Amino acid sequence: MTAPVVELKGVAKWYDDVPVVDDVSFSLGEGEVLALLGPSGCGKTTVLRLIAGFEAPDRGAIRLRGSDVDAGSVHVPPERRRVGMLFQEYALFPHLTVEQNVGFGLDRLPPEERRLKLRRAVELVRLEGLESRYPHELSGGQQQRVALARTLAPQPVVVLLDEPFSNVDAGLRARMRSEVEAILREGRVSTVFVTHDREEAFATADRVAVMHEGRIRQIDTPQAVYHSPASLQVARICGAANFIDGVIESGWASTEVGRLQWHSPDEGIEEGSRVSIIAHPDGFRVQYSANGTATVESSEFRGDETILRILMPSGNVIRTRHASSASLAPGAPVRLTPATRTPFTAFLRES
Amino acid sequence: MTAEPAPARARRTSLALLGARPVPAVFWIPALAVGVAMLLPLAYLVVRAAGGGEEAWDLVLRPRTAYVLGRTVLLAAVVSAASIALAVPLAWLTVRTDMRFRRIWAVLVALPLVVPSYVGAFLLISAFGPRGILQQALEAFLGIERLPAVIYGLPGAAFTLTLLSYPYVYLTVRGLLADLDPSLEESARSLGHGGWSVARRVTLPLLRPAIAAGAILVALYTLSDFGAVSLLRYETFTWAIYQQYQTLFDRSAAAAMSLMLVFIAVAALWGESVTRGRLRYYAGASGSARQQRVVRLGRWRWAAQAYCASVLVVALVLPMAVLAYWLARGVAAGEQIDFLWAAARNSAYSSGLAAAAAVALAVPVAIVSVRYPSLFSRVVERASHVGYALPGLVVALSLVYFASNYAPLVYQTVWLLVLAYVVLHLPAALGAARASLSRSSPRLEEAARGLGRSPFNAMMTVTVPIMRRGVLAGAALVFLISVKELPATLILGPLGFKTLATYVWSATSEAFFARAAAPALALILMSSLPMALLMMRGERARP
């Protein structure tokens, strides 16, 4: 097996005695797309900047294709790492044309090769005919494609994307994301990208690293971090909407919704343990029931779906999602049943 | 209330004469008056030169004029280039590196701006010229009675003017350098470029507009300089015009030559805007001002300190030491200093009036041009910038002609001098007022109007308080440059109205160095105060 494209081992970075990145380790395989997902300020952008070499780690080692770029006193400067970074604001050079921007990383090559690579990069992002424009003469989408072409042209070892779609309005976002993803997949480009948008992470990445307060809390496939989160925090970051209190009784989790099947990454859950059950909005089916103890508090019609807020007897509110044709009026008595046989994830509740 | 579809509408209104929204009379009447007043000197020059007849034009079109013109352009080019070479490293060191006492250096290296050019020239001559400090010392020890006159002519003039005007480049470059998006340089490094390559191919090109804007200020300053070039005997256009005026009293020829000088200045301004061409510099779209990386200088630290220190020593410390020497000599020789108080009061009075008037006139012009864009507002704004391109001497001459013929009431009063200061220095006040106004939202005034305030009331209670900081900065700047102003003060000052500037001038032009020292020092102190305030304000505003 070949060495991983990127490898981090116990990487830590402090700013003024505050750890921003703390004991981060992971490795990225050839052609893999990894998302760093977490709230703002969790250190995910710093991880990218460490890989790119704009910052030096205070502890730990970073390797690119098996050779140390950060280890002990070794710190290879950014220009000798062959890492491609795509910035949030694209960072196109305003004084250079599209062609000069895309060719900026190619100027050590012999002219013939340079021309070839330049043309290939321009074709890859379909910018033919715009080569002599300046960045301010392009639309936002075109600017992003120029930035992508510039990053890809020197064939970097790995491409790093820093919140690449956060400047784009919601309408364009999905389209640009799939465009960029198609280009990266087509070239089998190893990619690490940073986002706070879980849908973006789930839709685009092979694996998702969930970060919180400088640490990676879980790193796994999108399905796994969503359905089997390693902690309550991960569950929250991955969009779990409901936290239901329960007690373990004869192997089941007994809650006000009913008896639920469960599994848990926590050791030490036993008979009588008090637990928190996490449930996504699609975890329950809601049915009208004249003697149901729960009631519909409000119904929010969103076009492609309807969100119900169900008021439980305890005063707890559970959010559920339904096909938009569902019609339950506020005040209707209802009953909740698990939507699938998949067990719910349970965590020990501390007192 | 009608909601405006902003962008599409805005584009159309900027071409219409009066714009889509009615401009309240309290704004457009003063704005129009300012525009007309600013164009007055220029219009009068044209009339005068046109009426000069063949004789005047023959005088102007001699080969000698072309020779002087060449010398003038050469000096402006040398001073601009030297200022760039000196100032860009200073700006970079004080913004981007971990040099010790960075913030203190940042303020100190801008200070030479307060030294008037004729004071700089006088100090240079009094140190290295005939009968200067160096020669006297050499005579005492070695018996040398003559020094080669290297300080005269181009070398001395270029040296003096560079050391006094490089802060224009320093300040503009500093401003842009601090706002530069750090991800541009980081991108370049990721694409395989090392530090020098990034500086040459990314940072410097991005700084070009600021360098050009600063260099154009230096060039205009050099073109309009009168004091240093006459003391150092480098004949330029300004000096030639003055001599024409002084010796021949041929006003048409002087007016025609003044117009040529204006054309050079306008050509320089036009050239600067042309170099930008199709390039337009857009700010980072998100405006997420990430902290810029501080460059660690390592063992280069000492070189950096030495560079800043040597610039400061040559531009400020040595001149001050020479000044202190002459001051001590003067006191020892029993020079009178009782005139100083009256002269300082006259300087402060005329410059203070000019600062107040410039600011009061700049506010309506700024409001009209920022809030009510139209063809009218653009014309008024352009007209208000005439002072940029008009040398002080030219403005003074045209006002003399104008007042002596049409306005005898203000002729030989301090008001005419104040008017000259305002015409010359309004652009500085306007720039500051505009900048602070365009950073605030027009919705604020609209909210005040919606709550029942009249346009004037809304301006006084909302707009002016918002602009206060910018307006004060503008006033400080106008005061500082008016105090130093020489040619207009010489020509327009009423009989017996002596300021610090005219005292320094009359003493130095007759080589009474010891007598010039006290007013020169007072002048520098008087303009240092507003300068220090401006610089410290700028430092605080920076993250």
* Per-residue pLDDT tens digits for B240-287: 888 888 776 667 778 888 888 888 888 887 877 776 555 555 443 333
Please name the residues between 157 and 186 in chain B that touch chain A, using a CB distance below 8 Å. 181, 183-184, 186
Residue pair A276/A316 in contact (Cβ under 8 Å)? The answer is no
Question: Per-residue pLDDT tens for B25-50?
Answer: 778 888 888 888 888 888 888 887 77
Alpha carbons A155 and A153: distance in angstroms, whole number: 5
Q: What is the pLDDT of residues A331-349, one digit of tens each?
A: 889 999 998 888 899 998 8
Name the residue in chain A with its Cα closest to that of B196. A79
**Is residue B73 over pLDDT 80?**
yes
The two beta strands, A262-263 and A344-348, are parallel
Separation CA B524–CA B516 (nearest Å): 12
For every residue of B416-477, DSSP letters joined together read: HHHHHHHHHHHHHHHHHHHHHHHTS-THHHHHHHHTT--HHHHIIIIIHHHHHHHHHHHHHH
Find which of A238-247, B54-63, B534-543 is predicted with most confidence, using mean pLDDT.
A238-247
Identity of the amino acid at A266: D
Q: How far apart are CA B149 and CA B170, in angstroms?
A: 31
B105 and B167 in contact (C-beta within 8 Å)? no
Instruction: Tell me the shortest Cα–Cα distance from A220 to chain B, in angstroms.
Output: 29
Mean pLDDT of B418-446: 84
**B288 contacts A95? CB cut-off 8 A:** no
> Which of B176, B180, B191 is best to mutate for the A interface (most A CBs within 10 A)?
B191
CA distances from A121 to A104, A165, A186, B187, B256 (A): 12, 20, 13, 17, 59
Distance separating alpha carbons of residues A18 and B161, to the nearest angstrom = 50
pLDDT bucket at B82, cuts 50 / 70 / 90: very high
State mean pLDDT over A114-140: 89
- CB–CB of A77 and B194 under 8 A? yes
Q: Is the pLDDT of residue B428 over 60?
A: yes
CA A80 – CA A69 distance, rounded (Å): 9
Tokens of B42: 């220029």
Taking the model in full, what pTM does it have?
A: 0.79
Q: Is B410 exposed, middle or buried (0-12, 13-18, 19+ CB in 10 A)?
A: middle
Burial of A44: CB neighbours in 10 Å, binned 0-12, 13-18, 19+: buried
Q: Report the range of poorest mean pLDDT among A4-18, A43-57, B168-182, B216-230.
A: B168-182
CA distances from B486 to B29, B76, B482 (A): 32, 19, 9
Cβ-based contacts of A77 with chain B (< 8 Å): 189, 194
Q: Is the pLDDT of residue B460 over 70?
A: yes
| C-alpha dist (Å) from residue B217 to A66, A259, B343 | 55, 80, 29
What proportion of chain B, given as a percentage, has pLDDT over 70? Answer: 90
Q: Which of A275, A301, A294 has the alpha carbon at shortest distance from A336?
A: A294
Cα B448–B449–B452 angle (5° rounding)?
95
Cβ atoms of B540 and B532 within 8 Å: the answer is no
pLDDT on residue B3: 37
Name the band, by pLDDT with cuts 50, 70 and 90, for residue A40. confident
**B497 Cβ contact partners less than 8 Å away, ≥ 6 residues apart:** B346, B414, B417
* Neighbouring-strand partners of residue A84: A159
Tell me if A150 and B285 make a contact (CB, 8 A cut-off): no
In Å, how far is A81's CA from the nearest CA of chain B? 7
Model confidence at B314, pLDDT cuts 50, 70, 90, reads very high
CB contact under 8 A, A134 and B278: yes
CB A57, CB A50: distance < 8 Å: yes
Question: Chain A closest CA to B284's CA: distance in Å?
Answer: 7
Provide, as residue numbers in chain A, all residues whose Cβ is less than 8 Å from the Cβ of B188: 93, 104
Out of B183, B205, B293, the one facing A89 most closely (by C-beta) is B183
- When pLDDT is cut at 50, 70 and 90, the band that residue B7 belongs to is very low
- Is the distance from CB of A345 to CB of A277 less than 8 angstroms? yes
Average pLDDT, chain A: 89
Tokens standing for B387? 């002072």
pLDDT-based confidence at residue B13 (cuts at 50, 70, 90): very low
pLDDT attached to residue B50: 79
Q: How far is A346 from chain B (nearest CA, A)?
A: 40
B191 vs A104: CB contact, 8 Å cut-off? yes
Highest mean pLDDT (candidates A5-9, A252-256, B371-375, B457-461): A5-9
Q: Does A103 lie at the interface with B, CB-CB under 8 angstroms? A: no
Give me the residue from A89, A95, A150 closest to B284, CB to CB: A89
Judged by a CB distance cut-off of 8 A, whether residue B280 touches chain A is yes
Q: What is the pLDDT of residue A351?
A: 54
Look at residues A6, A39, A40 and name the one whose alpha carbon lies nearest to residue A24.
A6
The mean pLDDT of B483-489, rounded to a whole number, is 92
What H or E segment, with its residue span, contains residue A199? Answer: helix A198-204
Secondary structure class of A68 (helix, strand, coil): strand
Helix B392-406, helix B251-276: angle, nearest 10: 140
Answer yes or no: is pLDDT of A7 > 60.
Answer: yes
Q: Are B308 and B105 in contact (CB under 8 A)?
A: yes
Asked if A197 contacts A88 with a C-beta cutoff of 8 angstroms, the reply is no
pLDDT of residue B10: 37
Please report, for residues A180, B284, B344, the alpha-carbon distance to residue A133 in angstroms, rounded to integers and kept in the order given. 21, 18, 57
Q: Which residue of B lies nearest to A168 if distances are taken between CA atoms?
A: B286
Residue B438, judged by CB atoms within 10 A of its CB (0-12, 13-18, 19+), counts as middle
- Residue identified by tokens 């999905």 is A174
Q: Are strands A274-279 and A242-249 parallel, antiparallel or unpaired?
A: antiparallel
Q: List b or e across B412-429, with b for residues whose CB sees 16 or more CB atoms inside 10 angstroms.
A: bebbbbbbbbbbbbbbbb
Mean pLDDT of all residues in B391-410: 85
Question: What pLDDT shows up at residue B21?
Answer: 67
Nearest C-alpha in A relative to B208: A95
- How close, in Å, is residue B320 to chain A by CA atoms? 42
Question: How close, in Å, is residue B535 to chain A by CA atoms?
Answer: 29
Which residues in chain B have Cβ-Cβ distances shorter than 8 Å to A87? 183, 186-187
pLDDT at A17 over 90: no
% of chain B with per-residue pLDDT over 90: 25
Rounded-to-5 percentages of helix, strand, coil across chain B: 80, 0, 20
B539 falls in which pLDDT band (50, 70, 90)? low
What is the C-alpha separation between A141 and A130, in angstroms, rounded?
A: 13
The answer to whether residue A167 neighbours chain B at the CB level (below 8 Å) is: yes
Chain centre to alpha carbon of residue B262: 16
Lowest mean pLDDT among B244-253, B279-288, B328-337, B410-419: B279-288
pLDDT of residue B20: 60
Cβ-count burial of A206 within 10 angstroms (0-12 exposed, 13-18 middle, 19+ buried)?
middle
Is B287 or A161 the better-scoring residue by pLDDT?
A161
Q: pLDDT for B164-195, tens place per residue? A: 999 999 988 988 888 788 888 899 999 999 88
- Which amino acid would we find at residue B510? E
Q: Which of B193, B206, B282 sits opposite A79 (nearest CB)?
A: B193
pLDDT band at A50 (very low <50, low <70, confident <90, very high): very high
Asked if the Cβ–Cβ distance from B192 to A108 is below 8 Å, we say yes
What is the C-alpha to C-alpha distance for residues B124 and B127, in angstroms, rounded to an integer?
Answer: 5
Backbone φ and ψ of B498, nearest 5°: -100, 130
Please state, as a whole number, how many other Cβ atoms lie within 10 Å of the Cβ of residue A7. 17
How far does A80 lie from chain B, in Å, by closest CA?
Answer: 6
Q: How far apart are CA B365 and CA A69, in angstroms?
A: 58
Q: How far is A107 from chain B (nearest CA, A)?
A: 9
> Average pLDDT, whole number, for chain B?
82
Assess whether pLDDT exceeds 90 at residue A112: yes
Question: Around B504, how many Cα atoms within 13 Å sit in the side-chain half-sphere?
Answer: 34
Q: Do B191 and A89 touch (CB under 8 A)?
A: no
What's residue B444's pLDDT? 78
- Is B189 in CB contact (< 8 Å) with chain A? yes
What CA–CA distance (Å, rounded) separates B211 from B90?
13
Contact B181 A91 (CB under 8 A): yes
Q: Cα(first)–Cα(last) distance of chain B, in Å? A: 40
The packing angle between helices A111-124 and A140-152, to 10°, is 140
Q: Which of A83, A95, A167 has the CB atom closest to B279's CB atom?
A: A95
The CA distances from residue B426 to A336, B34, B422, B465, in Å, are 75, 10, 5, 20
Distance CA B190, CA A90 (A): 13
pLDDT the model gives residue B320: 92
Contact at CB, A89 and B278, closer than 8 angstroms: no
Strand order in the sheet with A74-75: A18-28, A6-15, A59-64, A67-71, A74-75
